């Protein structure tokens, strides 16, 4: 698919027609989900205007000059100096980024990368950490893991080029409800939608044991400011046994926004803010809920998506049966493809819910089994640019915001 736009009027026709041909559809949201947008007085910032090199950007395909002088990052308060365009840091070969409440640390394989304190700002408007750099390049074959206590925004005055894998996880996310009763599956985390509920367990009259009801899925994040972290999956009742961590919920994904004059996710590039899977249930216990997807927000004067973007929930863990069969209850899958629910041991049928849709965990079919954990809900994918071409894939479907 080749979808392109040069102005707000053309984008609807170009993207809808292109989306029909390849299965990737982008919708236009005229306002966005409580996005702060560009401050009305941003053009009065002479420091930003003078620092922006060559406001007229050449189109790589046609040689057409595009005016990017009024193209600024979304969701940030320009008047509060949250970012600037004269940073000198070249982010190359960074493999790990750790974002705390008001700071960010960058590491290569050789050690820490020094970035001026003035280039790292906590913006209370989006409750995110903003880092201003000159260029950010992720070479092919390299994996960058970003751990976010608060969402991260990278503002590059020049180029952002992603040829490897960027994975965004959260270490500070809200948690979905735990499993109800002693054997019920736990809920998947909510994000763009409600997470999947955990599966129930029937009564076992012969043993005088009461069953466990279904648990509600984690609530959708509303209201939400982007970029947002996802929600952790709930934990089922955890018992001592041969499987440490059984019944635990998966972590929700983190939030990442990238702004650049030229932003490209190449054919080998992947940006994933997908939730982690729920763990399989302990002996006769419910499966853990999958963590929800986070946020991938890409905006560039020239924006090229040739690779893949994911913000998918992790699958719920399968419900456990007896100690002898506990290893047959599988964890949900996660990662860039998203989460299929874990499989419960026969004849329990308490499979975990899908993280592709935030699906519910299945009810257990027998009283000695645990219910499946709910799948984590999908997160948020947003694109914004003056000149946008998409030939890659995105799951869930992205929303294209006005330039």
**Higher per-residue pLDDT: 359 or 268:** 268
Quick check: bond before 60 cis, omega within 30?
no
Question: For residue 123, is pLDDT > 50?
Answer: yes
**What local confidence, expressed as pLDDT, does residue 353 receive?**
87
pLDDT in tens, 176-185: 666 655 577 8
Q: Are strands 128-133 and 120-123 parallel, antiparallel or unpaired?
A: antiparallel
249 is a domain residue: no
Question: For residue 53, is pLDDT > 60?
Answer: no
**What local confidence, expressed as pLDDT, does residue 71 receive?**
87
**What local confidence, expressed as pLDDT, does residue 109 receive?**
94
19 is a domain residue: yes
Cα separation, 81 vs 103, whole angstroms: 15
| Three-state DSSP class for residue 399 | strand
Question: For residue 173, is pLDDT > 90?
Answer: no
Positive or negative, the CA dihedral 235, 293, 226, 90 is positive
Q: Hey, which of 42-56, 84-98, 215-229, 345-359 has the most confident mean pLDDT? A: 84-98
Question: For residue 338, is pLDDT > 90?
Answer: no
Question: For residue 378, is pLDDT > 70?
Answer: yes
Quick check: bond before 223 cis, omega within 30?
yes
270 is a domain residue: no
pTM over 0.85: no
298 is a domain residue: no
Q: Give percent of the chain with pLDDT exceeding 70.
A: 69
Taking alpha carbons only, the member of 288, 301, 269 closest to residue 376 is: 288
Rounded average pLDDT over 198-209: 64
Alpha helices, DSSP H, located in 250-366 = none
**Residue 34 — very low, low, confident or very high, per pLDDT cuts 50/70/90?**
very low
Residues in CB range of 137: below 8 A, 6 or more apart: 90, 91, 92, 159, 160, 161, 163
47 is a domain residue: yes
241 is a domain residue: no
**What local confidence, expressed as pLDDT, does residue 248 receive?**
86
| Cross-strand bridge partners of residue 209 | 204
Question: For residue 79, is pLDDT > 60?
Answer: yes
50 is a domain residue: yes
**Residue 68 — very low, low, confident or very high, per pLDDT cuts 50/70/90?**
low
The answer to whether residues 361 and 372 touch, using CB atoms and an 8 Å cutoff, is yes
> How many domains does the chain contain in total?
1
Alpha-carbon distances, residue 297 vs 49, 163, 277, 294 (angstroms): 23, 17, 23, 10
**Higher per-residue pLDDT: 37 or 295:** 295
**What local confidence, expressed as pLDDT, does residue 115 receive?**
95
**What local confidence, expressed as pLDDT, does residue 113 receive?**
93
**Higher per-residue pLDDT: 61 or 260:** 260
**What local confidence, expressed as pLDDT, does residue 7 receive?**
41
**What local confidence, expressed as pLDDT, does residue 176 receive?**
63
- Cα angle 378-382-387, degrees, rounded to a multiple of 5: 150
Mean pLDDT score across all residues of the chain: 77
**Residue 339 — very low, low, confident or very high, per pLDDT cuts 50/70/90?**
low
Q: With 0-12 CB in 10 A as exposed, 13-18 as middle and 19+ as buried, what is 364? A: buried
**Higher per-residue pLDDT: 21 or 57:** 57
**What local confidence, expressed as pLDDT, does residue 239 receive?**
61
**Residue 90 — very low, low, confident or very high, per pLDDT cuts 50/70/90?**
very high
177 is a domain residue: no
Range of the domain at 12: 3-170+380-400
**Residue 321 — very low, low, confident or very high, per pLDDT cuts 50/70/90?**
confident
**What are the DSSP calls for 233-256, one per residue?**
PPP-----SSSTTTTPPPPPB-EE
């Amino acid at each position: 698919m080749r979808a392109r736009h040069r102005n707000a009027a053309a984008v609807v026709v170009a993207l809808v027609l292109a989306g029909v041909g390849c299965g990737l559809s982008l919708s236009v949201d005229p306002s966005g989900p409580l996005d702060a947008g560009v401050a009305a007085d941003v053009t009065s910032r002479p420091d930003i205007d003078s620092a922006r090199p060559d406001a007229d950007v050449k189109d790589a395909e046609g040689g057409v000059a595009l005016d990017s002088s009024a193209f600024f990052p979304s969701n940030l308060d320009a008047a509060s100096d949250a970012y600037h365009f004269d940073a000198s840091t070249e982010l190359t070969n960074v493999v790990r980024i750790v974002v705390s409440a008001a700071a960010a640390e960058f590491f290569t394989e050789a050690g820490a990368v020094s970035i001026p304190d003035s280039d790292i700002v906590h913006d209370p408007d989006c409750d995110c950490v903003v880092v201003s750099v000159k260029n950010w390049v992720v070479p092919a074959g390299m994996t960058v893991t970003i751990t976010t206590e608060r969402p991260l925004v990278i503002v590059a005055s020049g180029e952002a080029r992603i040829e490897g894998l960027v994975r965004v996880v959260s270490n500070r996310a809200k948690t979905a409800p735990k499993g109800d009763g002693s054997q019920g599956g736990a809920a998947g985390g909510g994000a763009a939608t409600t997470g999947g509920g955990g599966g129930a367990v029937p009564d076992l009259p012969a043993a005088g044991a009461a069953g466990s009801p279904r648990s509600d899925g984690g609530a959708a994040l509303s209201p939400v400011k982007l970029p947002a972290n996802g929600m952790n999956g709930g934990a089922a009742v955890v018992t001592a046994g041969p499987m440490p961590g059984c019944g635990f919920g998966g972590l929700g994904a983190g939030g990442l926004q990238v702004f650049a004059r030229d932003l490209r996710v190449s054919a080998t590039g992947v940006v994933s803010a997908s939730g982690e899977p729920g763990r399989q249930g302990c002996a006769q216990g419910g499966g853990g809920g999958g963590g929800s997807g986070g946020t991938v927000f890409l905006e560039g004067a020239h924006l090229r998506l040739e690779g893949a973007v994911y913000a998918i929930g992790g699958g719920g863990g399968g419900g456990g049966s007896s100690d002898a069969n506990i290893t047959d209850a599988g964890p949900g899958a996660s990662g860039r493809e998203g989460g299929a629910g874990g499989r419960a041991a026969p004849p329990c049928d308490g499979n975990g819910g899908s993280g592709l849709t935030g699906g519910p965990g299945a009810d257990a079919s027998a009283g000695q089994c645990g219910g499946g954990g709910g799948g984590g809900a999908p997160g948020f994918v947003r694109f914004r640019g003056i000149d946008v071409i998409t030939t890659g894939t995105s799951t869930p479907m992205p929303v294209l915001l006005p330039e």
